Structure 1
Amino acid sequence: MHGPASSGWLLVALCAATGAYCLLRMRSRVEEQRRAAGGEALMGFGMAAMAVPAAVFTPPGWIWSGYAALFGAAGLRSLWAVRGGGRGRHHLHHLVGAGAMVYMSLAMAAATGQGQVQGQGPGQGHGHGGPGVPLLTGALLLYFTGYVLLAGVRLVPVGAAAGGPAAAGWGDRPELARACRLSMGLAMLAMLLAM
């Protein structure tokens, strides 16, 4: 969120490219894939916007509350999908991701309310009340570390089993969808570490 400018721009590029690919995936013929891709596109573009280095653009303080409301609504949608059955695990992951975005947005809102966005070390200026890693940040770091490791392991067999050229369109390529999810998980880890 407010780290060095070069790593911030790399994070913006990764998240924006992932969001753009997820928009392409929304053209899939499978309704469930289209729905999941829409949520992932929102997450990718939202993460890209939040990762813009503060040296380039410091958003007004109210924008963080807007992000919290947007991702809160996305989390409620995921909660509704989890309740409805279907692919519950993936919707549960979307729920955790939306919750993490709400958490980071509220932390940034608290930091801008105190005027402490730039020049803070880890664990400072985000409403934590002291040095160190807060419990929720630590829990989210553990979750996304596990998710990234699992997504990486799941990506290997799909790529090896592909064999020849795939007949599926861009929206229906499981290995690209998994690579997209892996990159967003890595980006989420980077954003949480920057807090």
Structure 2
Amino acid sequence: MSNFIRIVLSVFLLSGCTFASSQSMPYKSWYLGFSAPDYMEVWIETADVVDIQDHIYPRAMSGTASILTPPNNSGDPHGWPKRAGIGKGKNVTGADLPKQLYVRWQSLVEPQTYLMVIKIPEATREVMRKGENVFCAADGKWITGYRDSIGIRLVPGGIARVWVGGPCMTPIEVTTVKAVIDPRGPYEGKSGGEYDSLSDVSQAYVEKFGVPYDSWK
């Protein structure tokens, strides 16, 4: 096991899973979501949260990310979105705002298993606390909006880009992180190196066009 993995695991095992007794944010919970480019399917083994009170929330999110797989190779996985969606995820209930996120996921088109630590700076948490008077076109109302969601886009090659956003709010980019390969492979080595299969639609796209790694640099 690499030194990186030992350090990461040690950090996450230093304290138990307890709930924050008080919170520094003006809402009850925040949302953690994941997305992936068209056809570039991923499986999130775990997304663990460490909040600013050093409480740990393991598997705050796991499973599939939001993705489009249009038929007839009509989708376009290239590049980063101009306006990022928050993606598929869950509300992180009981936690304060995040200090670090630990994510281990499988990029099924490669296939490869990645892990990373995403550090959330205080400047980002200040953005998440700040309310803004915004107009929601969907219902024609002015509201006090908050960027109470963190969206992470996972792409092949182990790159992740992070945004904060919220209903009727313009997303703000936080950081781009390069993950490392987990040498244990999928499911921490418990699957004998076997990955889940791509869907037929995604497999057809990759076989014809390949994986556009250069578009995410």
Bin of the TM-score, shorter chain as denominator length = under 0.3
TM-score under structure 2 normalisation? 0.22
Structure with the bigger RCO (C-alpha within 8 Å, sep 6+) is 1
Higher strand share: 2
Higher helix share: 1
TM-score under structure 1 normalisation? 0.24
